[in-house]
Amino acid sequence: ALSWQLVYQSDKELCFAPENGKGICSGDSGAPVVARNLETQEWIQVGVTAYGPAVCGQGPDFAARVSFYANEILGIVKK
């Protein structure tokens, strides 16, 4: 598990920095990025790992924002 701090977000993308110096690495693309809802204590998927720096843990990591693509994903899954 990776603890992270949100650095930047747009409609389509999340940029986050790992708090323990261990970021995403080659082969991690497609992995879920999750956050805990502090009210319900439930874990929710907020992103899908996309890319990071050339050297693991040496910069911010990026993920596709699930909420932006949710309707498209559901449309494909329902087919």
Q: What is the pLDDT of residues 30-64, one digit of tens each?
A: 999 999 999 999 999 999 999 998 888 888 999 99
Q: Which residue has the higher pLDDT, 49 or 1?
A: 49
pLDDT at 41: 94
Is residue 1's pLDDT more than 60? no
What CATH class has 4-77? mainly beta
What is the secondary structure of the chain as a DSSP string? ---EEEEEE-SSEEEEEESSS----TT-TT-EEEEE-TTT--EEEEEEEEE--SSTTSS-EEEEEHHHHHHHHHHHHT-
What pLDDT is stored for residue 63 in this prediction?
Answer: 95
Domain range summary for the chain, segments of one domain joined by +: 4-77
Question: Each residue of 25-34: pLDDT tens digit?
Answer: 889 999 999 9
